[in-house]
Structure 1
C-alpha cells in the first residue's frame, strides 16, 4: 500500500433514525469535532469552504482548507482537502435508508496531492507501507468514533446547535 495508490478506508453503522434525523448531524460539519481525537475545530469560510484545525501528538497542529464537492441533504456530504482539482485527501459521508433506519458510512481517500504524511514518507521511504497503513488505521478509528457518535446523537433525538451547512 503506497500513498500514490490513493489508499482508502471506510466505516459504517446502522442508525435507528430516519435519514433526515441523521442528516441533521452529518450536515453540521462541526459534528466530527465531538468524536475525533484529531479534529479540534471547524469554521466556515463561505458556503462551500471551511477550515479544519487538527492536532496529533506525533505531527503537531495544522489547519487545512476544505471545499465541499457534494451536498445532497439526507444522502451525501463530501469534501476535499486543499486544491479541489488535486486534493491531498477526499472525505465523504453517505446515508442510505434502511427500513425505519439509516446506514451511515464515512469514507476517505489519501492523495493524490502531497499531505503532511508525505514528509514522513520522504524521510523514511523504506517504511512507506507501514506509515500509510498506520495513518489509515488512525483515520479509520476516528471515523468509526464519529459515525458511532452520530448514531448516538440521532437516536437520542437531539438536534445540533446553530447553522449546519456553511455560510
Structure 2
C-alpha cells in the first residue's frame, strides 16, 4: 500500500484478517537525501522518537548506558487515552552499524499480564534499517507486535469478538506514528547541522 508523500508502507498483512497471534507487522520506508552516517546518528538516538510521538513521552538509558550497545536496556514512558500511563523496558537485540538498529520491548512491571518479562517473548520488536541509495539512503522503520502481551492484549480481552477491528485500528495508529517519525528524521537529517556536517 502506498501512502501520500514520499514515505510508503509495505510488507503489511491485509486489514481485517489479522489476529494478535499472527504477529501484526508494519514496515514503512522513505528516501533520505543525507549522509547515511548522519541518519544513523539520528535513528540510534533513543530519545528522538518521543519528539514525534503522541504516545511515547520519554526515554532514558538504564544500567549506566549512554549509547546503543548490544544488550543495552532503555526505559520508555508511555501514555494512551484507553490505557493511561505505563513504562516499558527495551533491550537492544541487533546493532549492525550503520545498517540495522533493533530492540524488543517487554512489560517489565507485568502490567499487561503474561508472567515475567521475557525478551524472547517481547510485546513488540522494532527496527530501523538503512540501505545506501543514490544521494543518501533508504530508511525503513518496522514493528512486529507480540508474541508477548501488551496494552493491545488488554483491549482485546475486553472485546475478543472485535479482535480484528481492534488490531486494524492499532496498526493504523502505529503506521501513522511511524510515518511521522520517518518524516521527522528525514527533515532533521536533510537540514544542515550547525557543525557543518
Calculate the TM-score normalised by the size of structure 1: 0.92
More strand by share: 1
Say which of 22, 47, 65 aligns to 1:5. Answer: 22
Q: How large is the RMSD of aligned CA atoms in angstroms? A: 1.1
Determine helix, strand or coil for the equivalent of 1:134.
helix
In 2, the alpha carbon distance for the partners of 1:158 and 1:58 equals 39
1:35-87 Cα shifts (integer Å, max 9, x gaps):
11111100000340000011112221111001000112221110001121110
Q: Work out whether 1:19 is the aligned partner of 2:36.
A: yes
* Largest Rg, 1 or 2: 2
Q: Deviations 1:111-160 (Å, cap 9, x if unpaired)?
A: 0011111111111010000001111111111110001000000000337x
Distance in 2 between residues matched to 1:25 and 1:36, nearest whole Å: 15
- After TM superposition, what 4+ stretches of structure 1 lie above 4 angstroms from structure 2? none
Aligned length: 159
Distance in 1 (CA, whole Å) between partners of 2:53 and 2:97 is: 23
Deviation at 1:31, TM superposition (A): 0.7
| Structure of greater relative contact order (alpha carbons < 8 Å, 6+ residues apart) | 1
Unpaired stretches in structure 1, ≥5 consecutive residues: 160-167
List aligned pairs for 1:38-49, cutoff 5 A: 38-46=55-63, 47=65, 48-49=72-73
Matches within 5 A, 1:24-63: 24-46=41-63, 47=65, 48-63=72-87
For 1:115 and 1:37, how far apart are their aligned partners in 2? 17
SS in 1 for 2:41: helix
Whether 2:162 is the aligned partner of 1:145: answer: no
Hey, what's the Cα distance between the residues in 2 that align with 1:94 and 1:151? 14
After TM superposition, the score normalised by the length of structure 2 is 0.78
Gaps of 5+ in 2: 1-17, 66-71, 107-117
State the distance in 1 between where 2:44 and 2:182 align.
13
